[in-house]
């Protein structure tokens, strides 16, 4: 089950708009296929993803803590694999 958010182009503007807070994010290709799910401090994680060209699009959801983000990412990965 994908995150219930709209895709954004993974570019400098998206990174600048990403909150400096913990969360879960999906990276996708140009057609919206989910390539990966991860967690961390969103702005930092997306800077890295942009630098390494890990996807064309991104969507995210914030959490209150890194632990909450880690748990949500694990649950989210399990749903995608089903």
Q: What is the pLDDT along the chain (82 residues), one digit of tens a residue?
A: 568 899 999 999 999 999 999 999 999 999 989 999 999 999 999 999 999 999 999 999 999 999 999 999 999 988 877 7
Predicted pLDDT of residue 4: 84
CA nearest to 14, candidates 26, 2, 1: 26
Predicted pLDDT of residue 7: 97
Whole-prediction pTM value? 0.92
What are the structure tokens assigned to 50, written together? 């942009």
Predicted pLDDT of residue 1: 56
Instruction: Assign 2 to helix, strand or coil.
Output: coil
CA distance linking residue 63 with residue 82, whole number of Å: 24
């Amino acid at each position: 089950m994908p995150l219930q958010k709209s895709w954004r182009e993974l570019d400098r503007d998206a990174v600048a708009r990403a909150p400096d807070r913990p969360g879960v994010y999906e990276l996708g290709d140009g057609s919206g296929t989910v390539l990966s799910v991860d967690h961390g401090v969103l702005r930092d994680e997306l800077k890295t993803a942009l630098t390494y060209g890990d996807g064309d699009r991104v969507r995210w959801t914030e959490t209150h803590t890194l632990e909450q983000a880690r748990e949500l990412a694990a649950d989210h990965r399990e749903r995608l694999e089903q």
